[in-house]
Amino acid sequence: MEPIRSIKGTQDLLPQSSYRWQFAENKIKAISETYGYREIRTPVFESTQLFKRGIGELTDVVSKEMYTFDDRGGTSLTLRPEMTASVMRAWIQNNLGQEGGVQKMYYIGSMFRAENVQKGRLRQFHQWGIELVGSPAPVADAEVIMLMIRTLESFGLKSLKLKINSVGDENCRPVYKEILKDYLRPHFDQLCKTCQGRFETNPMRILDCKNETCKTLIHQAPVITDHLNDECKTHFESVKNLLTAAGIGFEIDPFLVRGLDYYTKTAFEVVSDDLGSQNAVGGGGRYDLLVEQLGGKPTPSVGFAIGIERLLIILEERKLLEDVKPKAPVLFVAAFAQPHIEAMIPIVQQLRGLGIQTEIELLGRSIKAQMREADRLGAQFVVVVGDNEMAQKSVSLKNMKTGDQQQLSFDQLVEFLSGSHE
RNA sequence: GUGGGCAUAGCUCAAUUGGUUAGAGCGCCAGAUUGUGGCUCUGGAGGCUGUGGGUUCAAUCCCCAUUGCUCACCCCA
């Protein structure tokens, strides 16, 4: 029979490496909470309409990358391709705006995009994200960026590049788009096919096209940062000043245009050379118009998302996970035969009850094999029980690091281990 | 959707212009040590060379198809 395989673009997280994820997730959660963010979980599937309205019908994500299907009642559902739209839907639906002040939320979860697979790009992948809802102030933008950078630094990542830009708001962006189109119009024929399509629908996306001729044309193009209105300009300046005050280095990239339609004012991205061609570790920005688009009251917000798989790729390439190891048992109980195992079971129960990680032989192997197993598991101590020990109602306790061995009564063993385990 | 690369033991990889029994390291199991891990030594298990077809006296090697993986284009995390 043909074995069934996992679906392309999905991955098993095996016990051999899950501790790395736990390490990353624990750190992320701890830091998010230090900054006052609380976890939000939302369903992995939503009404297709949510993403169409929130992300934008013309974006690549919505137009060609969504896992969409009809449920039995004929409703169109979609596996979430990102979570900001879901979080804002939940925020509106549960009237979180009524609580006053801002809502600071984080999430870690699976996202789904039906794309071709390559390095750092899967069909089911995971994001850590932050949403700071309800503040129009530049300090909110700065806070989420500080949180993002601090977190990456806490993993030991130093030389990642932070790129920021302002993409304007509903007043100055349309004006800039016209200026850009006026500049590009005489060169329309030289643009690549996709950019010719973008010319009317989303001219700003031409700015980050990687086609060579498009790039040379764009090089001389008017940049949005020269055409921001006073409000956006002041906001952008404040964000930059705050980042400088926070000691965070950044690079202004007037060609940074993110692929989701909801961004306003600040947009930012962190890139790394370790990722191959999909070089974005994470990115985000301000989305002051999204809540209205989803049927809520105007609510200025800012957030970001980081790809966990990509983060782990970088950590691995830079050898920053070498010291991260799975938890090893404190004690391995090696027994000769069934009666010895029976005699040890109450002790094992007691030790585990005390939170001491304890293993007992499950295969009835030779003592030699059991010792090898204990060593492989990295156990600090091994207890050996046989007829000799049973006769004296005791155990032999071996320290695996020093090789020392001593005879202990059952009570002494429990007392010793509750004092000496780490 | 489009292109390139790869597919041999559990893992990482060899195998001469096509030539006899497809090898190594690591890992696994066992013994040396009949009640004790690591280090060392010895032995062992483990392969339809991804699948199907073709060329040939002969195919892991050449050709075609197919599946899977991977990298890249577009876009994104």
Any idea which nucleotide's C1' is nearest the CA of A258? B76
Any idea which nucleotide's C1' is nearest the CA of A387? B35
Any idea which nucleotide's C1' is nearest the CA of A368? B36
Q: How far is the CA of A408 from the C1' of B46 (A)?
A: 43
ipTM: 0.87
Contact between A126 and A24 (Cβ < 8 Å): no
d(CA A353, CA A334): 19
Strands (E), A140-252: 161-166, 251-252
Q: Where are the domains of chain A?
A: 15-171+229-317, 331-420
Q: What is the DSSP letter of A398?
A: E
pLDDT at A421: 55
pLDDT at A236: 97
Does any strand B atom come closer than 7 Å to the Cβ of A94? no
Q: How far is the CA of A120 from the C1' of B24 (A)?
A: 33
Label residues A71-90 b or e (16+ Cβ within 10 Å = b).
Answer: eeeeeebbbbbbbbbbbbbb
Q: How far is the CA of A2 from the C1' of B50 (A)?
A: 13
d(CA A418, CA A395): 16
Does any strand B atom come closer than 7 Å to the Cβ of A206? no
Which amino acid is present at A65? E
Q: How far is the CA of A59 from the C1' of B7 (A)?
A: 37
pLDDT at A216: 81
User: Taking CA A253 as the corner, what is the angle to CA A250 and CA A256, rounded to the nearest 5 degrees?
Assistant: 120
The protein residue nearest nucleotide B77, judged by CA to C1', is A307
Give the pair of three-digit tokens for residue A274.
Answer: 């370790």
d(CA A229, CA A171): 8
Tell me which residues of chain A have a pLDDT lower than 50.
none
Does any strand B atom come closer than 7 Å to the Cβ of A115? yes
Rounded to 10 degrees, the C-alpha dihedral A229/A230/A235/A237 comes to: 100
Residues 9-68 of A with CB under 7 A from strand B: 59-61
Which amino acid is present at A52? K
Contact between A327 and A321 (Cβ < 8 Å): no
pLDDT at A330: 96
Note the strand B nucleotides within 7 A of protein beta carbons: 1-3, 28-31, 33, 35-38, 68-77
Domain A15-171+229-317: which topology? BirA Bifunctional Protein; domain 2 (3.30.930)
- Domain A331-420, classified CATH 3.40.50.720, yes or no: no
pLDDT at A420: 65
Any idea which nucleotide's C1' is nearest the CA of A385? B35
Nearest to A261 by CA among A43, A42, A78, A85: A85
Q: How far is the CA of A18 from the C1' of B25 (A)?
A: 27
Does any strand B atom come closer than 7 Å to the Cβ of A367? yes
* Contacts by residues A375-381 (CB-CB < 8 Å, ≥ 24 positions apart): A375/A400, A377/A328, A377/A329, A377/A332, A378/A325, A378/A328, A378/A329, A379/A328, A379/A329, A379/A330, A379/A331, A379/A332, A380/A328, A380/A329, A380/A330, A380/A331, A380/A421, A380/A422, A381/A330, A381/A331, A381/A332, A381/A417
Q: How far is the CA of A126 from the C1' of B14 (A)?
A: 38
Does any strand B atom come closer than 7 Å to the Cβ of A388? yes
Any idea which nucleotide's C1' is nearest the CA of A367? B36
Contact between A347 and A413 (Cβ < 8 Å): yes
